[in-house]
Amino acid sequence: LLSKRLRRVAYYIHDDIKVIADIGSDHAYLPCYVCLQNPDLFAIAGEVNEGPYLAAKKQVEKYELENQIDVRLGDGLSVLDKGEADCITIAGMGGTLIAKILADGKDKLPHVKRLVLQPNIDAHAIREFAVEEKYEIIAEEIIDDEGYIYEILVLEPTINMVNYSEKEMYLGPHLIENKNEVFYEKWQHVLNKKYKIIDQMKNAQNINYEKIDYFSKQVQWIEEEIE
């Protein structure tokens, strides 16, 4: 059975999507799951490392999905031809790496209708990519899977101005709107950590006022949303 985390990613691969590219696919669990569910779907599983690439190939053979899933070895979006995929999924990495993979492969993005991204940390880096590259964040989720907290962000290109406040960039515009237990849990934890760090910074020999201000602003945003 696919992890809850990847099932939530799969949820956003809608019926009108014909070809998905899962970048950093590892065992290709996600493409195998969605292709078994939908025989009309075609998938590309991209991997930069040989071990996970071979693991993906094996998994695809195990389910006899060779006609539906193409496993490719290469860095980021370089494994794709222009216009080949209508949806890209990237899961299980840091937000900064996900944003870098997308920015480095920008020339492959114009025909892509939807990006489903699951950063383990630093979701704000993906929101920054969205604003810079004119994507609207159409959905966000924060979930707990076996004691770990994950965020999922769904981006679609837009011709409208994309504008989020600094607080929304930090906490997530949709997550602020629909707060769940996991949201409170995550940000309470971050808040406690920030209090400690600010205390330490105030007692340091060389006080970095700029950094204290920056952290204090984040503390204020979190307090406004969870207290």
CB nearer ligand SAM, residue 52 or residue 172: 52
Q: Helices 4-11 and 29-37 sit at what angle, rounded to 10 degrees? A: 50
- DSSP assignment of 126-174, as one string? HHHHHHHTTEEEEEEEEEEETTEEEEEEEEEE-SSPP---HHHHHH-HH
CB nearer ligand SAM, residue 116 or residue 169: 116
How distant, in Å, are the alpha carbons of 46, 111, 118 from that of 84?
Answer: 13, 8, 22
Indicate which single residue of 32, 47, 70, 222 sits in contact with ligand SAM (rule: CB under 6 A): 47
3-state secondary structure of 42: strand
Tell me if 98 contacts ligand SAM by CB under 6 A: no
Indicate which single residue of 20, 35, 71, 91 sits in contact with ligand SAM (rule: CB under 6 A): 91
State the nearest-atom distance from the C-beta of 25 to ligand SAM, in Å: 6
Token reading at 102: 């997308």
Using the rule CB under 6 A, give the single segment among 88-96, 136-144, 153-161, 192-200 that binds ligand SAM.
Answer: 88-96
Indicate which single residue of 92, 94, 157, 173 sits in contact with ligand SAM (rule: CB under 6 A): 92
Indicate which single residue of 2, 38, 48, 212 sits in contact with ligand SAM (rule: CB under 6 A): 48
Interaction site with ligand SAM (CB under 6 A): 6, 23-26, 46-49, 52, 75-76, 91-93, 101
